Amino acid sequence: MKNMYDLHTHTIHSDGEMLPIELIRRMAVLGYSIVAITDHVDTSNTKTVLASLVHIKESAQIFGVNLLCGVEITHVPPTQIADLAKQAKKFGADIVIVHGETPVEPVAPGTNHAACSCPDVDVLAHPGFISLEDALLAAKNNIALEITSRGGHNRTNGYVVQIARRAGCRIVVDSDAHAPHDILDEHERVLIAKGAGLTDAECDNVLSLNIEKFLST
């Protein structure tokens, strides 16, 4: 499969187990061409997390990977999400993810709505039982909804697919990798997509998404 991507991964800069370049190397060996490192941030660490990633862009290119320097805005009060997303882009973020209202964590109600309303957000991660209203906002703002392989967060994948279809939302498939064993190979990516209820045609479209075009629109 060409253009393998993962837009949601973590390193030792938050709660992951790997150095950024180890993550990149492991994903390069599996055939990934685009990887976003999106460590958890709030108002205390956004600038420093992004600054640390810039230094390994060249190393990633040597391994054949286009590294997207990103963040996952996590457990931030909904009223602060838009400002922090805008700030992250100002600090050089290639991609901004928001930690959605997964059913397995105490994410503040209104987080999905705040993220879907914000044009500086690119992906709403594991959005749980997202409402159709919020999904329509996401579609309007070109925000993708995530299908994830992460345990617990993946319980609502099927629901997310159904809502995304109704709203006309973009869907992405990510690992939310924190450790080496979380990284998906090509076959596992397909299993996650089909297991969420995507058709073969939808799988082909979602898994071969042109990430550069998606992020530029």
Of the CA atoms within 13 Å of residue 178, those in its CB half-sphere come to 9
How many Cβ atoms are within 10 Å of 66's Cβ, its own excluded? Answer: 16
Predicted confidence at residue 1, as pLDDT, reads 53
Give yes or no for a contact between 207 and 1, defined as CB atoms under 8 angstroms apart: yes
- The answer to whether residues 148 and 157 touch, using CB atoms and an 8 Å cutoff, is yes
Phi and psi torsions of 173, nearest 5°: -110, 120
Q: Which pTM was predicted?
A: 0.97
- Per-residue model confidence (pLDDT) at position 3: 78
pLDDT at 217: 82
For domain 4-216, give the CATH number: 3.20.20.140
**100-150 pLDDT, tens per residue?**
999 999 999 999 999 999 999 999 999 999 999 999 999 999 999 999 999
Low-confidence spans in the chain with pLDDT less than 50: none
